[in-house]
Chain A
Amino acid sequence: MSCVLQAEGLTKRYHHAAALDGLDLQLPAGKIIGLLGPNGSGKTTFMKIAAGLLTPTTGQITVCGQAIGPKSKALVSYLPDRNCFSKRMKVAQMLDCYQDFFPDFDRARAEDMLSALAIDRDARFQTLSKGTQEKVQLVLTMSRRARLYLLDEPIGGVDPAARDYILHTIINNYDPDATVLISTHLISDVERVLDEFLFLYQGKVIRQGEADAAREESGKSLDELFREVFKCLPNC
């Protein structure tokens, strides 16, 4: 029963182009789920709607039974695919900001992770490398005790060692009540941590299932399956 997110007929149009086209989706609790799809398939649009940054053109979406609004935002920890802070802020100020905004923010956990990644709290955000900026934002996102984590391309810009650390963080934060939704193109890097996967194409879910079941059935990795499924589709 326990569904963390429920979407029905979710559609988002930008003028005439539909980024999401009648998307139906239920995300169970306690799972790590991969949101996989080619560029322009609607992954970021879906996450932004669930995070409350965009309103859908039509359709319904709820998080833990709450309509999108202040109550749902308190339950959702969102990692955007770009920087969302003023570049002049210091890392410590970003921690303060999260502490102010989110009652579920665990500052000690964030400080631990920053230390593990050797990130200076007094550094200004703009002086950090692109990869380090991404790490800081991920640390903030994962330090909340949320019910739903939306991670938009969390490992895209970081080195392989930091990728391992990020995956390690996601595994260590595992909470049977919370669900983590990860969108990425780097499927081979994340696939061993995924319970389930969703293939998104032209704003619709075209395939979903359990990662191990798919491997058993097809004898292929999710990465190979992705390449196969999206190879035969036009316009991608």
Chain B
Amino acid sequence: MNWKFSGDRPVYQQIMENIRGSVLRGELPPGGKIPSVRDLAAQAQVNPNTMQRAMTELEREGLLVSGGTSGRTVTTNLEVLSDMKEQILEDLARECAEKFMVFGVTPSQAAQRLLALDQKKEEMK
């Protein structure tokens, strides 16, 4: 996992995003074990209380499952995983659209640009 934090947003939220990303990219597979809060805090160089909070929130979302003394695992509930992926892609699309709008480019014009980019790549091959 790549731990980099920006100072202007809550650290626990950035940890949550980071772990969601790792699950989506397959670095943390469904049913995979999550290291202990203490180990993760040491890895990420953050306060253990902050790491604990991020884990608790992710459990509440259903992405992580608490296994009592045996530690946390990534959920095997595929519905939760696909919902989360949907949510992240939607957020990404919205962010992207907002950035294009700054230059007065509408979402459909932006979509055309993305397609054009794809075609260029094809031609390169």
Chain A residues with a Cβ under 8 A of chain B: 30-32, 164, 167-168, 171-172, 174, 188, 191-195, 211-213, 215-216, 219-224
Contact = CB atoms under 8 A, between A and B. Distances in A.
Contact of B7 (A164, A195, A221): A221
Contacts of A195: 47, 49-50
A223 B6 CA distance: 12
Given A171-B47, A174-B48, A195-B50, A212 B41 contact: no
Interface in B69-87: none
B38 A174 contact: yes
B49 A30 contact: yes
B46 A192 contact: yes
B50 A216 contact: no
Given A172-B42, A195-B49, 16 more contacts: A171-B48, A174-B48, A192-B7, A192-B46, A193-B46, A193-B47, A194-B47, A211-B11, A212-B10, A212-B50, A212-B53, A215-B11, A216-B13, A220-B8, A221-B6, A224-B8
Majority secondary structure of chain A interface residues (helix, strand, loop or mixed): helix
Nearest to A187: B7
Interface string B37-60: 010011001111110010000000
4 nearest A-B residue pairs (beta carbon) = A221-B7, A212-B10, A216-B10, A174-B48
B98 to A, nearest CB: 17
A188 B49 contact: no
Contacts of A211: 11
A191 B6 CA distance: 11
A172 to B, nearest CB: 6
B50 A168 contact: no
B9 interface: yes
A191 B47 CA distance: 10
B99 to A, nearest CB: 18
14 contacts: A174-B38, A174-B47, A192-B7, A192-B45, A194-B47, A211-B11, A212-B13, A215-B10, A215-B11, A216-B10, A220-B7, A221-B6, A221-B8, A224-B7
Contacts of B100: none
Interface in B1-27: 5-13
A223 B48 CA distance: 21
Interface of B: 5-13, 38, 41-42, 45-50, 53
Given A174-B38, A195-B50, A215 B45 contact: no
Contacts of B47: 32, 171, 174, 192-195
A215 B14 CA distance: 12
Contacts of B9: 215-216, 219
Contacts of A174: 38, 41, 47-48
Contacts of B10: 212-213, 215-216
Contacts of B7: 188, 191-192, 215, 220-224
B63 to A, nearest CB: 19
A37 to B, nearest CB: 19
A93 to B, nearest CB: 31
A172 B50 CA distance: 14
Contacts of B48: 171, 174
